[in-house]
């Protein structure tokens, strides 16, 4: 974990120096973000209203909070209800040959980024990446989609939204509570009061929040797609190395430990880490199998890793939230007909 993240989330002693130095910049960030938001609210800047329901899944802080598992859950829920969802994303870390870029089965992860690539291959729904969300939605409309899920984009006020879902890490919460760069927040905590739903990913949910849990599934070999149950995997490989390039790597390592897995070495990287072969060659006990997240795995498929595995996870949310969300979406869909 980078030093600044330890200052934000772990009360590292460097906070006594860094936070006072960075607070003036946080003040500038606050003023600029407020002016930008008011420009859209007052109509000085125009925003785009889609012809179909738009669901924003985002957060008010930087780093991974569990948005992608929630997006996957939403896609499956909507398909089961007869909708044809499409997913839009900025495509962080990717560089497509053109925008908007519609992901297909031959698209390399370098074109679209790890999260959109994962969503497409897990769900087989239309996924489009572009800095211009309007162009993405218009392209997905031509693909026959009748509802849009925006992976991230809470601060993208150029796009009107019908349902807004904020996801927070139940363990790290909002860090030290300061705005960037003194803290991890892109908007103040009061912004959560303006969303339709606040999802708490693991940890203890506070009043008004909805708890989401991530249920571990099976282990899949990156090179061969062989699947092993948790029990079979741990019986075959009693000790492993573990790596993670996500917003909160320790959360993944804790999950493995909770399953009873014996871990020789853990290696955390920054979110969206671009893996190199040397990342694996330098691991202690390099002869041991390596376990990673599915998000990491999509960027490691081209390496010759015979014993590299990823753990699937699925989001679980309360039934009452499912019913409330579907009713809200149905009301929006009727209004937009």
Cα separations (Å) of 63 from 55, 185, 208, 212?
Answer: 20, 10, 23, 17
DSSP summary character for residue 273: -
Which of helix, strand or coil describes residue 214?
strand
DSSP string for residues in 192-212: GGGSSEEEEESSPPPTT-EEE
Would you say 63 is a known binding-site residue? Answer: yes
Q: How far apart are the first and last CA of the chain?
A: 48
141: closest CA among 72, 51, 233, 76?
51
Would you say 304 is a known binding-site residue? Answer: no
Would you say 104 is a known binding-site residue? Answer: no
Helix-, strand-, coil-residue percentages of the chain, each rounded to 5: 35, 25, 40
Would you say 65 is a known binding-site residue? Answer: yes
Count CA atoms within 13 Å of residue 252 on its CB side.
Answer: 27
Which bin fits 119, alpha (ψ -120 to 50), beta or left (φ > 0)? Answer: alpha
Cα separations (Å) of 51 from 54, 57, 181, 331?
Answer: 9, 19, 37, 14
Query: Residue 302 forms beta bridges with which residues?
Result: none
Angle among Cα 268, 272, 277 to the nearest 5 degrees reads 65
Would you say 247 is a known binding-site residue? Answer: no
DSSP summary character for residue 93: T
Cα separations (Å) of 277 from 53, 187, 219, 280, 302?
Answer: 43, 37, 21, 6, 10
Would you say 68 is a known binding-site residue? Answer: yes
335: closest CA among 83, 43, 54?
54
Would you say 66 is a known binding-site residue? Answer: yes
141: closest CA among 160, 126, 122, 156?
126
Binding residues: 61-68
Binding residues for ATP: 61-68
């Amino acid at each position: 974990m980078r030093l600044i993240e330890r200052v934000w989330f772990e009360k590292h002693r460097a906070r006594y120096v860094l936070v006072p130095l960075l607070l003036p910049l946080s003040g500038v960030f606050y003023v600029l973000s407020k002016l930008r938001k008011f420009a859209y609210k007052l109509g000085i800047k125009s925003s785009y209203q889609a012809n179909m329901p738009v669901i924003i899944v985002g957060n008010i802080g930087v780093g991974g909070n569990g948005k992608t598992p929630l997006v996957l859950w939403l896609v499956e829920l909507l398909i089961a209800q007869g909708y044809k969802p499409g997913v839009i994303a900025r495509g962080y870390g990717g560089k497509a040959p053109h925008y908007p870029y519609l992901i297909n089965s031959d698209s390399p992860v370098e074109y679209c980024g790890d999260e959109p690539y994962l969503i497409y291959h897990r769900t087989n729904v239309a996924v489009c990446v572009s800095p211009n969300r309007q162009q993405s939605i218009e392209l997905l409309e031509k693909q026959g989609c009748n509802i849009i899920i925006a992976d991230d984009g809470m601060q993208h006020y150029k796009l009107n939204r019908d349902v807004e879902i904020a996801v927070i890490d139940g363990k790290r919460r909002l860090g030290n509570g300061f705005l960037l760069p003194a803290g991890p927040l892109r908007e103040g905590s009061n912004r959560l009061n303006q969303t339709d739903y606040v999802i708490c990913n693991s940890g203890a949910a506070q009043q008004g929040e909805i708890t989401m849990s991530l249920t571990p599934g099976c282990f899949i070999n990156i090179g061969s797609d062989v699947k092993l149950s948790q029990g079979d995997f741990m019986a075959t490989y009693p000790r492993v190395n573990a790596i993670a390039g996500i917003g909160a790597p320790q959360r993944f390592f804790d999950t493995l430990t909770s399953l009873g897995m014996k871990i020789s070495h853990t290696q955390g990287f920054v979110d969206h880490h671009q893996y190199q072969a040397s990342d694996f060659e330098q691991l202690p006990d390099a002869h041991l199998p390596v376990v990673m997240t599915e998000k990491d795995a999509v960027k490691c498929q081209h390496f010759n890793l015979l014993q590299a595995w990823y753990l699937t996870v699925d989001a679980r949310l309360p039934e009452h939230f499912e019913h409330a969300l579907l009713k809200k979406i149905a009301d929006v869909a009727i209004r937009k007909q």
